[in-house]
């Protein structure tokens, strides 16, 4: 059922995934559903809803990632990082969260799905020092743009990007960006069967 649902949603987008990638996404939803009962990883309880609200919502970001090294800050149960790692197997993702139970879940997902391009890390974002230069910081429902920039500035160099997945266009947040950072682009995302606005906000250093 979930596989059919995912295939039909993908058919409404320009995103092409292999059979294996689709199986991995379905397996991820099943793990999320199973672990959610004990770990309370997401407020979305229904696996079919997870496919729309988590999987498709995260997948729509994939075509807009150009680099090869990203960090997903405040990843929670791996959103959007796990989904993007499945869709972009040649791109490396650090999945950062401060809660041990979430990171334990991410380790389980990495192992079960055979994902060698994800590195789950338990840390506060301010304390984390990446071992390689990162092309971008990703966040989904993590913080305001101001906080994201302030907490994550040390994670990227001058060519890196801040990429925030937002609902409504965050006009007020953009008006009060910290100095040294500018608004580069907004991308409106159309998530199949999701009745809500979605915007990708891209910021870069001056």
Please provide the DSSP assignment of 117-143 as one string.
Answer: TEEEEES-GGG---SS-EEEEEEESS-
Q: The tokens of 90 are what?
A: 């040649």
45 annotated to a ligand binding site: no
125 is in an annotated binding site: yes
Classify 76 in phi/psi space as left (phi over 0), alpha (psi -120 to 50) or beta. left
Residue 74 is labelled as binding a ligand: yes
For the record, the structure tokens of 84 come out as 């993007």
CA distance 186 to 4: 32
Per-residue pLDDT, 10:
98
CATH number of residue 200's parent domain: 3.40.50.150
Residue 204: exposure state from Cβ atoms within 10 A (0-12, 13-18, ≥19): middle
Task: Give percent above pLDDT 70 in the chain.
Answer: 100
Tell me how crowded residue 30 is: count the other CB atoms within 10 A of its CB. Answer: 14
Q: What's the pTM value of the predicted model, to 2 decimals?
A: 0.97
- The answer to the question of whether 165 is labelled as a binding residue is no
pLDDT, tens digit (0-9, with 9 covering 90-100), for 4-22: 999 999 999 999 999 999 9
- Please give the structure tokens belonging to residue 110: 């990495």
**pLDDT-derived band of residue 142, with 50, 70 and 90 as boundaries?**
confident
Respond yes or no on whether the N-terminal peptide bond of residue 80 is cis (omega within 30° of 0): yes
Domains in the chain: how many in total? 1
Q: What are phi and psi of 6, to 5 degrees?
A: -60, -45
Residue 162 domain boundaries: 1-205
| CB of 64 closer than 8 Å to CB of 41 | no
The pLDDT assigned to 141 comes to: 82
Q: How far apart are CA 5 and CA 78, in angstroms?
A: 21
Structure tokens belonging to residue 204: 């870069």
Consult the annotation and say whether 160 binds a ligand: no
**Cα–Cα distance measured from residue 49 to residue 10, given in angstroms and rounded to the nearest whole number:** 15
For residue 133, what pLDDT is reported? 84
pLDDT digits (tens, 9 = 90+) for 26-82: 999 999 999 999 999 999 999 999 999 999 999 999 999 999 999 999 999 999 999
Please state whether 84 falls in left (phi above 0), alpha (psi between -120 and 50) or beta. alpha
Can you give the pLDDT at residue 42?
95
């Amino acid at each position: 059922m979930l596989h059919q649902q995912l295939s039909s949603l993908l058919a409404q987008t320009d995103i092409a995934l292999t059979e294996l990638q689709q199986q991995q996404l379905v397996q991820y939803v099943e793990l999320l559903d199973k672990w959610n009962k004990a770990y309370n990883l997401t407020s979305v309880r229904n696996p079919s809803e997870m496919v729309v609200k988590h999987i498709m919502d995260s997948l729509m970001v994939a075509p807009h990632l150009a680099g090869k090294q990203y960090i997903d800050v405040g990843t929670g149960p791996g959103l959007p990082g796990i989904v993007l790692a499945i869709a972009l197997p040649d791109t490396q993702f650090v999945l950062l969260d401060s809660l041990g139970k979430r990171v334990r879940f991410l380790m389980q997902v990495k192992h079960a799905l055979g994902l060698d391009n994800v590195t789950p890390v338990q840390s506060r974002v301010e304390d984390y020092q990446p071992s390689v230069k990162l092309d971008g910081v990703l966040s989904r429902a993590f913080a305001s743009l101001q906080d994201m920039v302030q907490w994550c500035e040390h994670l990227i160099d001058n060519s890196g990007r801040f990429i925030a997945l937002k609902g409504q266009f965050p006009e007020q947040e953009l008006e009060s960006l910290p100095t040294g950072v500018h608004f580069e682009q907004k991308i409106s995302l159309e998530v199949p069967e999701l009745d809500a606005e979605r915007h990708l906000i891209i910021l870069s250093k001056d």
